[in-house]
Structure formats: C-alpha cells, structure tokens
Chains A and B, each alone.
Chain A
C-alpha cells in the first residue's frame, strides 16, 4: 500500500462544477503539499499545509491531521484547470517528499 493515496485517479467535470480531490496518507507528516502539473509541463506548488485550511482564488485546500486526510477543492471549474493534481507529504526526514500518483482532471466546456 502506498504511503500516499489519492482519489479519484481520473476525473472529468463540466465547466462550472465544484471539484474535490482527496488525499490520504498513512505516515506522520510535518507538512502536506498540493502540486499541479500540466501536460508536458513543469510542476507548480499550489499549497503547503500543516493544519487547517488555505484558500487561493478558486482553490481551497484542507487538512485533517487526526484523520490523515486532505482535500483540494476547485470552485467554478474551468477548462484551464485541466491538469494532474498531486498530493505530496513531508515525512520524518524533511528533505524528502513522498508523492501520490496524481489525479488527472479534465474540465470540458
């Protein structure tokens, strides 16, 4: 079993829909990151969380440390949100990130 599990693996939504991507982890962490990767492109850090909730534009990230679970929400989704969203955690050794396998999101018109 992977230390970081994401669901769903693939997600198709229509423009304007509210989207939730989930991340569960099985190890103790110091921080959790949500990353965005566009096809053939680089990786952008969206959020870093150690507790609570963060919001940036239409993106909201929450984390529940007790339940070892985080969610990434996208409100009023748009085709330009189409990308792979990756959850990653800092475990005991802060230098390493352990990654989920990603959620491929496609938003259609």
Chain B
C-alpha cells in the first residue's frame, strides 16, 4: 500500500510562471489536506478537500492559489503567477475520514523555488 505520493519533489519556477503540485492520497483515503511550510516557519493549513469538493479553503491565499481533487486522478494545488514569497515546501496529507479521530499520513512534500 503506497503512501501519500507527491510530485514533483522539487520544482523551480521563474516569477510569473505557474506551478502545479500533485498529490495522490493513500489507497482508500478520500480526504486530502494541503499544508505550506515557509522557510524557517511552521506548517500552516491551506485547504481540505474531498473528492470533487472543497470543504475548507480558509487557509488559501485569496488570489493565485487554487486546489482541486477530481473524481479521477490526483489532487492538484495550482499557483498562478508565482512570486518569490511562494517559495516553500508544500505538503499533502490524507486520511480515510475527516481525521478528527484518525491518524493523518503525510507525503514527502514538494519544494517550490521561485527565481
């Protein structure tokens, strides 16, 4: 049973380009969460999705950021017109249910560098 798979592991983008980060949850998990870790800062919640639904996006910046979790395929975190401040590690996590009482499983992270 493969764990949470994220790709790419490392991504370099020039300012103004788009970044797409992908996350395949563990088999049987229908809940996906994205977190961001800025350099020298703690992790921050971004968005919580179930298949075809955004449940909670209160941690997402209002502009340039979007997330989806389609019926088929991985969850995608999309950052348009990237700026240097978007450079961070982006972690995806999944759980079989809303993890109020469940262990959460993290991916290895995607490190975005904006030059």
Give every chain B residue within 8 A of A90 (Cβ-Cβ): 99-100
B101 touches A95 (CB 8 A): no
Taking CB atoms, residues of chain B closer than 8 Å to A88 are 43
CB-CB under 8 A for A95 and B44, given A43-B109, A45-B103: no
Enumerate A42-66 residues with CB–CB distance to B below 8 Å. Answer: 42-45, 48, 50
A-B contacts, 11 of them at CB < 8 A, read: A30-B101, A35-B106, A42-B106, A42-B109, A45-B104, A90-B99, A90-B100, A95-B99, A96-B58, A97-B43, A97-B104
- Chain A residues lying within 8 Å of B55, measured Cβ to Cβ, are 95
The one of A31, A43, A94, A101 in contact with B106, judged by C-beta atoms closer than 8 angstroms, is A43
B92-109 with Cβ < 8 A to chain A? 93, 98-109
List A contacts of B108 (CB < 8 A): 41-42
Output the residue of B42, B98, B103, B107 with the most chain A CB within 10 A.
B42
Number of interface residues of A (CB under 8 A): 24
User: B69 at the A/B interface (Cβ < 8 Å)?
Assistant: no
Query: Which residues of B54-74 are within 8 A (CB) of A?
Result: 55-56, 58-59
Size bin of chain B's contact surface:
20 to 34
Q: Across the interface, do A94 and B100 meet the contact criterion of CB distance under 8 Å?
A: yes
A96/B56 contact (C-beta < 8 A), A30-B101, A86-B42, A102-B42 known: yes
Contacts of A85 in B (CB 8 A): none
Assembly CA distance A96 to B45 (angstroms): 6
A31-B100, A95-B33 in contact; A45/B59 too (CB < 8 A)? no
Cα–Cα, bound, A41→B3 (Å): 14
Contacts of B48 in A (CB 8 A): 95-96
Cross-chain contact of A48 among B33, B41, B103 (Cβ < 8 A): B103
A98 at the A/B interface (Cβ < 8 Å)? Answer: yes
